[in-house]
Amino acid sequence: MSIYLISTMTIHDPATYRRYTALTPPTVKRHGGRFLTRGDEVVTLEGEPFKERMVIMEFPDREHVEAWLRDPEYVAAAQYRFAASTGRIIIQEGRPNTEDPEPLV
């Protein structure tokens, strides 16, 4: 079952952050991941306005995500992200039953 990685961040140094975004696509692909969104516009329909950058990726499973995060090339690139932004990365597994989901979950 696929796992989805959602990253949200506030960028305070766009030039340095672009160094990170230039380096990450090959590392994601190498670990079986793909970008579903990458900094595209987010529209808030309810609640507080969302003002951060958001990236959503899909990986085959948690092991692929963890291998990507440990990849030496990604670790080196992530230093630009740490220097240029603050944020969070979360993951959530997809469910096999999307047509008739369990109503009590």
Q: Give tens-digit pLDDT for 10-63.
A: 999 999 999 999 999 999 999 999 999 999 999 999 999 999 999 999 999 999
Architecture of domain 3-93: 2-Layer Sandwich (3.30)
Look at residues 72, 56, 59 and name the one whose alpha carbon lies nearest to residue 23. Answer: 72
pTM, 2 dp? 0.89
Angle at 36 between CA 65 and CA 54, to 5 degrees: 85
CB 4, CB 89: distance < 8 Å: no
Domain positions in the chain are: 3-93
pLDDT tens string 49-100: 999 999 999 999 999 999 999 999 999 999 999 999 999 999 999 877 667 7
